[in-house]
Amino acid sequence: MVTVLLVDDHELVRTGIKRILEDNGNFKVVGEATTGEEALEWARKNTAEVVMMDMVMPGMDGMDATVKYLRIRPEAKVIVLSMRTEEPFPTKVMQAGAFGYLSKAASPEEMISAINTVHQGRKYISQEIAQKMALSTFDPKENDNPFNELSERELQITLLITKGMKASEIAAKLCLSPKTVNSYRYRIFEKLHISGDVELTRLAIRFKIVNE
């Protein structure tokens, strides 16, 4: 029986996933967390073979939570659940150490297949997402996406800037100093060839990094 930890801030989502898995009979949900921080605290005392990690949560996001969770439990297989199917999110998440990237629009059958696949030590990416990743290799427009040049941390800070957060707020959220956040901000602007937060937000909307 595969043990699973559910990490999602929506109780309805966790309840739905739990019912799907336990009705199958081959899975056991051994823990639930509503934030990345709670997941890390849980991991210090408990273990799960597979972690279903929401990408967007209050506080720590799924990408950062994945990196930190795997430092505590490197043997765990993390599947990130997200509505963001566009690059560079899938690639960045997999680079962060996740074993799977699953669209929240996936069917129950695909979710079960994904968990079984990563439990066997193989990577899993939703067919819809994998197709977009493959096409981006051959599509010059996709390859022109400047956000592909950002590191995981730079992309994370980009998303927080586009939410209107100040350097001090970002620093508190990510446990960094404001000076470090501003250094990242400068590098982001330099890589994207822009000069301000408004321009960053417009560019993020253009390349579907954030919604309008």
Instruction: Delimit the domains of the chain by residue range.
Output: 2-136, 145-206
- So what's the pLDDT on residue 132? 64
Measured between alpha carbons, how far is 101 from 9 in angstroms, rounded to an integer?
18
Tokens at residue 122, please? Answer: 């193989």
- CATH for the stretch 2-136: 3.40.50.2300
- So what's the pLDDT on residue 65? 92
Q: pLDDT digits over 127-143, tens only?
A: 777 766 665 555 555 55
Q: pLDDT digits over 161-174, tens only?
A: 988 889 999 888 88
Residue-level length of the chain? 212
Q: pLDDT digits over 24-76, tens only?
A: 989 999 999 999 999 999 999 999 999 999 988 877 888 889 999 999 999 99
Helix (H, G, I), strand (E, B) or coil at 59: coil
Measured between alpha carbons, how far is 93 from 89 in angstroms, rounded to an integer?
6
| Res 19 pLDDT > 60 | yes
The domain over range 145-206 is classified in CATH as 1.10.10.10? yes
Per-residue pLDDT band for 5 (boundaries 50, 70, 90) equals: very high
DSSP state of 157: H
Q: pLDDT digits over 140-156, tens only?
A: 555 578 888 888 788 88
Q: Quote the percentage of the chain above a pLDDT of 90.
A: 55
Q: Quote the percentage of the chain above a pLDDT of 70.
A: 93
Per-residue pLDDT band for 91 (boundaries 50, 70, 90) equals: confident
| Res 114 pLDDT > 70 | yes
| The amino acid at 144 | D
Note if the bond before 88 is cis, omega within 30 degrees: yes
Instruction: Report in angstroms the alpha-carbon separations of 57 from 9, 144, 178, 191, 198.
Output: 6, 29, 22, 27, 24
